[in-house]
Amino acid sequence: MKFSQKIYETEVLILGSGASGCGAAIAARKEGADVLIIDKGVLESSGNLGGGNDHFMAVLDEAEHDSFEDMCRYYVTPTSGLSRTIAQNFFNAMRPCLKVLEDAGIELLHNPDGTYVRSVGFGQPGPWWIHINKGYTVKPKLAKYIKNLGIRVVNNFFVTTLLKDGDRIAGCAGFDVLTGDFIVVKCKTAVIAMGLTAQRVSNNSSHKPFNIWYSPYITGSQVILPLEAGASVLNIDITDKATLLPKSWGAPGMNGINNMGGHELNAKGERFMGKYDPMMENGLRRNQVMGTFQENLEGSGPPFFMDMRHFAPEDARHLQYDLMPGDKETYLDYCKARNIDFTKTPLEVEISERMIGGVVRCSDEQETEIKNLFAASLLATFSCCMCIGWSAGQFAARRAKTAEMPGLPESDFEKIKAGIYAPLKETKSKHAVSYQEFEDGIRQVMDYYAGFQRTEGSMAQALKSFRVLEEYLPRLEAASLRELMRTHESMELFKLVRIYVQACMQRKESGRAMYRRADYPERDPKYDKCLITRLNADGTPEFSWTE
Ligand SMILES: Cc1cc2nc3c(=O)[nH]c(=O)nc-3n(C[C@H](O)[C@H](O)[C@H](O)COP(=O)(O)OP(=O)(O)OC[C@H]3O[C@@H](n4cnc5c(N)ncnc54)[C@H](O)[C@@H]3O)c2cc1C
């Protein structure tokens, strides 16, 4: 197969068109820069925002516990990797981002007095969560807004490599997942906005890796590409996420259910979350997941339920019919199939699959250790991503005003292309291994040896099992461009899980992540810090700690 080559040039390159990338692109454009935003998906639906979001978090100085100081107390902790200045960047971007959302025609709900309808969530002290109506319209409306600003968009572009010129970013390379063309972008500055956590590393009870809570297409580039380009990444050991799902169905929505007052019940009908978090179900999500896991271990479940039968009828209606379909358009189909009416029927839930990731280390101006490359996806949630993306876009655009256009490492292109197309075979060989078989292996190892409960020994065994899986890498073959994309995603996931397990072995305690180390069951104040990961010259990870 023969593919052509395309080269783009821009002042500011935005890598990823999810919530962070959209915030970054809009802010950079408003600073006057020429902006190109790329994604392996399509702007109108890419990233987790593409699935629909029903809440936007904003600290507005309008209520109790609604100030920047409240926000810092929640977000700026020794293990968050977030400085007070970055929190300030985030806070400063909230009002401009809200204005963009309203200008784009996104329906943020208002009270009769004009203030936003907001509620408390995730153990936060104030009512920071603005309710959104028809959350599934957010991404297409934002996409239209972006295109109207004159931002150039390249969809279906899978980035496999960040390109450098000396110590600075020069652009990126990869391939078009529909045509197979080799694509290169040259830029003065760039923002990495490829998400926070990767999916498909573990299973929920459906054992279908695409039937999950978050977008299944974020597979670790946010960690692997910066590491391979020489940057360091924080908190690979504790940037993990899980939630509760409607039984066997990968839908989000727990923030709405918890923050409106849903009660979680175990199999004995007991509301147990008081044992695990002072704010019960509306506390830290980690406590809800690990609390449910503990009940499970102790034999008090499954099944588990979220009970909304005590809600006022209008609240139950708003939750089931406005908010939930905003997170997943087919929510009501699920409810219909299972005969669920929040006013009458508790919703059976299960602990979800897990996601893992990391935070690219950056300065207060959000510049990574690669010069002119700025970081956007430093936290999860719509507003954290859009707002921190916003400030990254501003910093990138301001730098681009004085930066020269770099040179491209053209002598590397043949090697990059060879790596991209290696798995593509017109006829698969007898010994071919598919990405599905390979990825199933990753998930089996992760769930069995590095699951919600693990030990040093189980993680050591996970690494041994990964060495067996490694033997299959040269046999991965793809018969189409679609399979080629999936194969590259699987290879990326494999790199990520191996680094992840080694990272988790460094933190000999429990209580800060969505897993419990049975050999170190308590939290240890010695680990009140972030783990730093870098790759050494032969590609093996090296670990150190922040002070
Ligand atoms: C259905 C759903 C509902 C949610 N509801 C809410 C809510 O109500 N409120 C809230 O605050 N949060 C919610 N969240 C979480 C929130 O949507 C996310 O935290 C946020 O959108 C993440 O944005 P991001 O841009 O950092 O990352 P992502 O959304 O992960 O975007 C990363 C982008 O990078 C692209 N990408 C990755 N790797 C590559 C590569 N190698 N080459 C090219 N492109 C690449 C991906 O395709 C993707 O588009 C929800 C999540 C989901 C899935």
Instruction: Write the pLDDT tens digit of every residue in 176-192.
Output: 999 999 999 999 999 99
Asked if residue 36 has pLDDT above 80, the reply is yes
- Tell me which residue range forms the domain holding 182: 5-42+53-108+127-194+358-411
- Exposed e or buried b per residue across 272-281, where buried means at least 16 C-beta atoms within 10 angstroms of its C-beta: bbeebbebbb
Residue 122: inside a domain: no
Residue to probe by mutation, ligand 1, list 20, 36, 53, most atoms within 8 Å of CB:
53
pLDDT of residue 2: 83
Distance from Cα 49 to the centre of ligand 1, integer Å = 5
Assigned domain for 83 exists: yes
Query: Ligand 1 within 6 A of 352 CB?
Result: no
Decide if pLDDT at 284 tops 80. Answer: yes
Any ligand 1 atom below 6 A from CB of 391? no
User: Which residue lies with its CA nearest to atom 13 of ligand 1?
Assistant: 381
Q: What is the pLDDT of residue 524?
A: 97
Position 463 pLDDT exceeds 80 = yes
**According to the model, what pLDDT value does residue 86 have?**
97
Question: Are 451 and 314 in the same domain?
Answer: no
* 37, 183: one domain: yes
Pair 13, 146 in one domain: yes
Q: Give distance in angstroms: CA of 195 to centre of ligand 1.
A: 6
| pLDDT for residue 178 | 97
Mutation probe of ligand 1 site: the residue of 36, 43, 49, 324 with most atoms within 8 A of C-beta:
49
Place of tokens 């939630």: 243
Cβ within 8 Å of residue 34, ≥6 positions away: 10, 11, 12, 152
State the distance from the centre of ligand 1 to the C-alpha of 193, rounded, in angstroms: 9
Q: Alpha-carbon distance 271 to 305, whole Å? A: 10
Report the pLDDT value the prediction gives residue 329, as an integer from 0 to 100: 87
Q: Is the CB of 40 under 6 A from ligand 1?
A: yes
What's the whole-number mean pLDDT along residues 233-251? 96
Same domain for 29 and 164? yes
- 147-156, 244-253, 265-274, 403-412 — which is least confidently predicted? 244-253
Handedness of CA 66, 67, 68, 73 (dihedral sign): negative
Residues 20 and 139 in one domain: yes
Q: Let me know if residue 403 belongs to a domain.
A: yes
Beta strands in 177-253 (DSSP E): 182-192, 197-198, 233-234, 240-241, 244-246
Examine the domain organization and report whether 57 and 152 are in the same domain. yes
% of the chain surpassing 70 pLDDT: 100
Tell me, yes or no, whether 282 and 331 share the same domain. Answer: yes
Residue 102 pLDDT greater than 90, yes or no: yes
**Token pair recorded at residue 334:** 């699920």
CATH, residue 537: 1.20.58.100
Which of 351, 369, 393 is the last residue before a domain boundary? 351
Instruction: Give 327 Cα–ligand 1 centroid separation in angstroms.
Output: 12
Q: Is 241 helix (H, G, I), strand (E, B) or coil?
A: strand
Residue in the structure block whose two tokens are 């005969």: 339
Task: Please calculate the CA angle 214-238-290 and round it to the nearest 5 degrees.
Answer: 70
Query: 18 CA distance to ligand 1 centroid (A)?
Result: 5
Task: Kindly report which listed range (216-220, 240-244, 252-256, 259-263) carries the lowest average pLDDT score.
Answer: 252-256
Number of domains in the chain: 3
Distance CA 49, CA 106 (A): 13
Clarify whether residues 281 and 396 are in a common domain: no
pLDDT at position 107 is 95
Domain boundary among 305, 331, 351: 351
CATH number at residue 87: 3.50.50.60
Looking at the domain assignment, is residue 48 inside a domain? Answer: no
Residue type for 97, please?
A: C
Query: Taking the chain, what is the end-to-end CA distance rounded to the nearest angstrom?
Result: 52
Residues 461 and 398 occupy one common structural domain: no
Answer whether 377 contacts ligand 1 (Cβ < 6 A).
yes
Q: Average pLDDT of 148-158?
A: 98
Q: What is the pLDDT of residue 160?
A: 98
- Single out the residue of 267, 288, 269 nearest to residue 279, CA to CA: 288
Contacts of 491 (CB under 8 A, 6+ apart): 473, 476
| Residues 33 and 166 occupy one common structural domain | yes
255 CB-near residues (< 8 Å, 6+ apart): 54, 55, 121, 122, 129
Q: Is residue 119 part of a domain?
A: no
pLDDT grade, residue 41 (50/70/90)?
Answer: very high
Assess if residue 329 is contained within a domain.
yes
Mean pLDDT of the chain: 96
Q: Residue 55 region, left (φ>0) first, then alpha (ψ -120 to 50), else beta?
A: beta
Q: Span 252-261, mean pLDDT?
A: 92
Query: pLDDT at position 415, please?
Result: 97
* Amino acid at position 246, single letter: P
Mean pLDDT of 447-473: 98
pLDDT of residue 326: 86
Last residue of a domain, one of 411, 431, 446: 411
Q: Is residue 114 part of a domain?
A: no
Angular region, 451: left φ>0, alpha ψ -120 to 50, beta rest: beta
Q: What is the pLDDT of residues 2-22, one digit of tens each?
A: 899 999 999 999 999 999 999
CB of 51 closer than 6 angstroms to any ligand 1 atom? yes
Task: Specify the pLDDT at position 327.
Answer: 86
What is the 282 CA–ligand 1 centroid distance (Å)? 22
CA of 506 to the centre of ligand 1 (A): 28
Look up the CATH number of the domain holding residue 273. 3.90.700.10
What pLDDT, in 10s, does the model give residues 204-226?
999 999 999 999 999 999 999 99
Angle between helix axes 481-506 and 413-421 (nearest 10 degrees) is: 100
Residues 361-413 have pLDDT tens digits of 999 999 999 999 999 999 999 999 999 999 999 999 999 999 999 999 999 99
Domain contains 417: no
Do 490 and 526 lie in a common domain?
yes
Q: Are residues 390 and 452 located together in one domain of the fold?
A: no
